[in-house]
Amino acid sequence: MEIKFLTNEKFKECIPEPQPAEKLFPEWFAKMDKVKSKKCPFRFKNKDNPFEITYQRGGEESNNISGCPGIADYLKFGYIIPAWDNFIFREHEGGLLINLTDDYYDSTIGFHGEHQYHTMPEDSKPIYNHYTKITSPWIIRTSPGVSVMITHPVWHGNDNFTTATGIFHTDTSPLNLPWFFKWNYKIKSGMELESMDSKQQVITTGTPIMTVIPFYRNSFESSVEYINEVECQRLGHMQEVLTHSLYRTDLYAKLRKTIGRLFK
């Protein structure tokens, strides 16, 4: 199956390209992962019961999230769309003002006002009473049966904004990928460059701003089952053994090694 990121040939070597998420691990996470053997608790299988596992912890500081398979595997999933320009955010007359510095691509900036989501709970609405949409240089096409989910690049530390999550069927129609997001805090500095907080108000070229996760559309049937206490405990212990085992021969561990290879 294929996912294609298409753009005008004149942008070649001018803007950062989409990358497999595994190649753009958050720097803080990658650094922490290097000391995983020192930070994470030791885990031992119970020789008498293969579904049980015990821990030997060295105190609260000996554990960190680098050993969490769910987070680590999520960070390998899909593709990262980097900012194709420097985006500068200011407040002007009570509204949000956005400037681009390089203009390799003539992005269209639009605003989706509160009337389009007026039933949303007040504490969930954007601070500036609108979502912002900036067109990107990228067009996405996928193989038949493959759709894409666009979402926020969680764990990359971009808390100034939240990219909205949506699904597009890019096998049926090409998607001129928009950056659709809300700004998360009131900007108090003025319009002058000297008063700006660059860390808070500037999204620099190359910053991860979207995650694109392709998936194959298929049908599912759901069911709800009620099981006894013994079976609940057995399944819980099984999860600990399979997902956190130090033994690389386990099936789950082998599966985890293939995640990054799915996206090239």
Backbone angles phi, psi at 61, to 5 degrees: -75, -5
3-state secondary structure 6-28: ECCHHHCCCCCCCEEHHHHCCHH
Are the beta carbons of 104 and 11 closer than 8 angstroms?
A: yes
Say how far apart CA 107 and CA 259 lie, in whole Å. 34
pTM of the model: 0.83
Cβ atoms within 10 Å, residue 140: 24
Work out the burial of residue 257: count CB atoms within 10 Å of its CB; fewer than 13 is exposed, 13-18 middle, 19 or more buried. Answer: exposed
149 Cβ contact partners less than 8 Å away, ≥ 6 residues apart: 78, 165, 166, 167, 212, 213, 214, 215
3-state secondary structure of 122: helix
**Would you say 41 and 61 are in contact if contact means Cβ atoms under 8 Å apart?**
no
Tokens of 71: 């987070």
In this predicted structure, what is the pLDDT of residue 71? 87
Tokens of 68: 């969490």
Query: In order of start, what are the domains of the chain with their CATH numbers?
Result: 27-74+234-262 (no CATH), 81-216 (2.70.40)
Angle at 184 between CA 128 and CA 175, to 5 degrees: 85
- Taking only the tens place, the pLDDT of each residue in 122-141 is 989 999 989 999 999 999 99
Residue 174 pLDDT: 97
pLDDT of the residue at 143: 97
CA 69 – CA 158 distance, rounded (Å): 22
- Name the stretches of the chain with pLDDT < 70: 33-63, 191, 244-250
Could you give the CA distance from residue 3 to residue 81 in angstroms, rounded to a whole number?
Answer: 13
**Rounded Cα gap, residues 163 and 133, in angstroms:** 10
- Please report the pLDDT score of residue 61 as a whole number: 47
- What's the pLDDT score for residue 55? 53
